[in-house]
Structure 1
Amino acid sequence: MAKIADLLRAGRTFSFEFFPPKDDAEHHRLVQTLAELQPLNPSFVSVTYRGGRSSRQRTHDLVAGMLRTTTLTPMAHLICVAHTRLELAEILVEFRKAGVENLMALGGDPPTDPDAAEGELAHADELVELARAIGGFSIGVAAHPAGHPRSPSIDQDRAYLAAKLARADFAVTQFFFERSDYLRLVDDMRSRGVDRPIVPGIMPVTSISSINRMAAMGAAVPEAMAERLRSAGSASAVREAGVEAATELCQAVLDAGAPGLHFYTLNRSLATREIYANLGLEVTAS
């Protein structure tokens, strides 16, 4: 299996993100989505992790299953919260036994379960260090163009990202909607002496109801883009406008030198496939 750090050194990467299914309906949809996206030959795919033993097992099973039954290169997410250091070490060892070589190390959101155990690692950089001690991983971390919602300031968030990237191999950003947001982040890291690849994360806005939801998730839709969607008319026209806007953003960051694109698919394939077609990536992605 290829390591993502090596793929990024070789050229641009184009990747997708999925979440583990919770029930049969979600499983069926994911299987269909994987079948539809695999022909696009993504560089890698990432699998999220919500925390808790059941999510832990679903992430492990999905990543291990991809290794056994597909040609995809998977990256497993892992979060610090609600885990002891020993538990995290055990999870990392199990990943390596399954052949997993790519890891996204995250701090994670505070647990909503009042009975959840208190985690021993406070920040993602500690998880990066633990994964390094286990060995064998290519490690990514999260970057937030608008700053992490829990960071007291954008400067402190950038300083923390620079510290994470001093230990990790690459970063993938939270989704954003303007090229300038991404370029400010990259320029800030360069000014701090950090030259690790920062892959822009892309999530198209395909419905009016998504506009407020995006803000709640930490990346507000710019008013000009929101107005573009609202004025599109029908639901199908709104969706088309959203895919068009995402295509424009992808092309803009690629033209500015981005090392690739990472698509948040929400376990659906159509919007990603349409953006790929618009960018002419069906043949060039590798």
Structure 2
Amino acid sequence: MQSQKQFKRRFSFEFFPPKTDAGKEKLQVVRDQLAEVNPDFFSVTFGAGGSTRDRTIETVLNLHQQGISTAPHLSCVGGSREEISQLLDEYKANGINRIVALRGDLPSGMGASGELRYANELVEFIREHSGDHFNLEVAAYPEFHPQARSAEDDLKNFARKVQAGANSAITQYFFNADSYFYFIDRLEKMNITIPVVPGIMPIVNFSSLVRFSDMCGAEIPRWIRKQLEAYGDDTVSIRKFGEEVVTRMCEDLLKAGAPGLHFYTLNQTEPSLSIWKNLGITDREKISF
């Protein structure tokens, strides 16, 4: 973890592009509330195969124009070099200087992956097209990508993204801090020392968490799963327990030198903001860990 302690900490929140007018209004309220804690940036997801492209662009530009740096997610699956170039030019013209570069997932029924197959190829293409204009974030998987053939292959894939020009990384969420620590130790042995910011998923709904975690390969430790199961439909207890568990993990991560936190908000304010307040990071210069 020594390599991570050298980096200035940064804190960010992730949104998904809303589908309806009501969703847009809700996100505006969430955005205003989270903006009050002065995060370093917001990020906005990009649907499988570019399925939310227009909504992502609209959401990114709307948030960015309100005064907080906003980073669009950009995936290469299903997109051509020309389409990606157009997106990069539009973002650059509108003052966007950070991108989360991902391989992305193929939507159901789509057989072709596009001209660029992997995230390292996307990073390389962005560098060729836009030089150093964008700060490029890539994904990291402390518990390893669910489609990776082995742990070693997954580490090599991450190294390729760094070699292609990635500036920093955001992890898939996890609930076992040791998986993050071990991942960083492995990177240090490979002389990879870019900032790797833990992705944090607040626990709000047990059934949704299980479904999403099974899909993306994030492990829910047995003791957490069993306690959540015991609460049944008691959403108040689920949220209270989840807040305590995730807050404690964030404290451990920051104490060990993690270079910040990235909250997966699911377009909600309270779950992420409660953890934020518990950690006392409103005044970052006075963080005690």
Q: Normalising by structure 2, what TM-score?
A: 0.90
Deviation, structure 1 residue 11: 1.6
Deviation, structure 1 residue 86: 1.5
Deviation, structure 1 residue 232: 4.7
- Give the distance between the partners of 1:203 and 1:100, measured in 2 at CA: 25
Contact 1:81 1:111 in 2 (8 A): no
Deviation, structure 1 residue 80: 0.6
- Identify which of 67, 86, 96 aligns with 1:100: 96
User: Is residue 129 of structure 1 aligned with residue 129 of structure 2?
Assistant: no
1:59 maps to 56
- Secondary structure, counterpart of 1:175 in structure 2: coil
Pairing 1:1-286 to 2, within 5 Å after superposition: 11-51=8-48, 55-68=52-65, 70-114=66-110, 118-133=113-128, 134-135=130-131, 136-166=133-163, 167-213=165-211, 214-232=213-231, 234-284=234-284
Which segment drifts farther, 19-28 or 50-59?
50-59
- Give the distance between the partners of 1:200 and 1:264, measured in 2 at CA: 11
- Secondary structure, counterpart of 2:59 in structure 1: helix
**What RMSD over aligned residues (CA atoms) do the two structures have, in Å?**
2.0
Contact 1:170 1:197 in 2 (8 A): yes
Deviation, structure 1 residue 225: 1.2
Deviation, structure 1 residue 285: 7.8
The letter of the residue matching 2:268 is R
- Give the distance between the partners of 1:10 and 1:197, measured in 2 at CA: 7
Note the alpha carbon deviations across 1:196-221, whole angstroms, 9 max, x for none: 00000000222331342222232021
Which segment drifts farther, 221-230 or 153-162?
221-230
- Give the distance between the partners of 2:271 and 2:285, measured in 1 at CA: 16
Note the alpha carbon deviations across 1:150-202, whole angstroms, 9 max, x for none: 11111100111012122200000000001101011111111111000000000
The letter of the residue matching 2:114 is G
- Describe the shift of the 1:118–1:159 C-alpha distance in structure 2 as closer, same or farther (beyond 3 A): closer
- Give the distance between the partners of 2:38 and 2:160, measured in 1 at CA: 33
Deviation, structure 1 residue 129: 1.0
The letter of the residue matching 1:76 is P
Deviation, structure 1 residue 118: 4.2
Deviation, structure 1 residue 229: 2.5
- Describe the shift of the 1:47–1:16 C-alpha distance in structure 2 as closer, same or farther (beyond 3 A): same
Deviation, structure 1 residue 53: 6.2
Deviation, structure 1 residue 258: 0.2
Note the alpha carbon deviations across 1:70-110, whole angstroms, 9 max, x for none: 22111111001111112111111111111111011100112
- Describe the shift of the 1:113–1:95 C-alpha distance in structure 2 as closer, same or farther (beyond 3 A): farther
- Secondary structure, counterpart of 2:13 in structure 1: strand
- Secondary structure, counterpart of 2:36 in structure 1: helix
Q: Which runs of 5+ in 1 are unaligned?
A: 1-7
- Equivalent residue pairs, number: 277
Contact 1:16 1:265 in 2 (8 A): yes
Deviation, structure 1 residue 247: 0.2
Contact 1:211 1:226 in 2 (8 A): no
The letter of the residue matching 1:278 is N
- Give the distance between the partners of 2:209 and 2:20, measured in 1 at CA: 27
Task: Work out the percentage of aligned pairs sharing the same amino acid.
Answer: 39
Which segment drifts farther, 270-279 or 129-138?
129-138
The letter of the residue matching 1:280 is G
